[in-house]
Structure formats: structure tokens, C-alpha cells
Amino acid sequence: MKAQKGFTLIELMIVVAIIGILAAIALPAYQDYTARAQASEGFSATSGLRSDIAVYFSENGAGADPTSDAAIPSQAASLNGQYFNAGNVSVNSSGAISVAFQDGVHSGETMALTPSIESSGQISGWNCSGLDPEYLPSACR
């Protein structure tokens, strides 16, 4: 008599069920991670622009208009990323930066980066809005 070796159908079905359960848990977590990473691109791509705005406010005071310096709006308009194109980043007169996403999970949405300006003209941080709070970069939370 020869003993048969291998897995039974029940054992294989149990393994498939376990893999299915793990995939059902991992997929939403991965999608959230991807959305957060795409939003982070808008924050990191504007780092030089945020620095220039901070320098402008420190030199000209809290009430100054950074759009009066032609280099700042020009730099904003030239920013280009994987999920937003050149011309989709803008700065308003209070120094807030808007990033309009054209691709990825946030396609059609706009993230706003608003500076918290001290009376001395120093920027103490940046507040982010426009996207679901769970997708905002960790630097904005």
C-alpha cells in the first residue's frame, strides 16, 4: 500500500480564505497610504516656494503681499509634479499656496497651504486644508 502525499481540498480552501481575509484588510490600508503619499507631493514640491514666502514676510512684515514680488507667483506657476502640472500652483496676497491636483487619487481636488504668520513676520507653521484630514501630509497634522 502506498500512502498519498499532498494537501486536501479543505486545507487548500482554508489557505485561500486566509489570504482573502488578509487582502481585504491590506488593500484599504494601502490605498490610504497611496493617497497620503500623493498629497505629500504637493507639500514637498512647494518647499522652496514656502521658503521664499517666509523670507518675504520676514523682510517685509506680516501685512505684506508676497504676490507683489513677481518672482514668487512666477515660481509657483512653474512648479510641476507627478500629480499636478505647471500652472496648477498659485499664491494669493496672504501667502496661501493652492495646489490643484490633476492626476491620481486627488484628481480635481485642491490643497491649500496657509501660513501661520507671527506679528514679527515669521512663519510659525503651515496649515493644510482642502483634502480629507486623513490624507493630509503628516507635516500638516
Is 116 a domain residue?
yes
pTM here is: 0.79
Is 97 a domain residue?
yes
Residue 9 near residue 106 (C-beta atoms within 8 A): no
Give the tens place of pLDDT for each residue, 31-43.
Answer: 888 999 999 999 9
Give the percent of the chain with pLDDT over 90: 65
φ, ψ of residue 82 to 5 degrees: the values are -75, -30
In terms of residue numbers, what domain contains 125?
9-140
Instruction: Supply 116's cell numbers.
Output: 501661520
Round to the nearest angstrom and report the end-to-end CA distance of the chain: 68
Residue 12, pLDDT score: 93
Give the tens place of pLDDT for each residue, 61-112.
Answer: 888 899 998 899 999 999 999 999 999 999 999 999 999 999 999 999 999 9
Quickly tell me which residue has 498629497 as its cell. 39
φ, ψ of residue 109 to 5 degrees: the values are -105, 160
pLDDT grade for 27, boundaries at 50, 70 and 90: confident
In DSSP terms, 105 is beta-bridged to none
Is 50 a domain residue?
yes
With H, G, I as helix, E, B as strand and everything else as coil, classify residue 25: helix
Is 1 a domain residue?
no
Is 2 a domain residue?
no
Whether pLDDT at 138 is above 80: yes
Q: How many domains does the structure of the chain reveal?
A: 1
In sequence order, which ranges of the chain are alpha helices (DSSP H)? 9-45, 47-60, 71-78
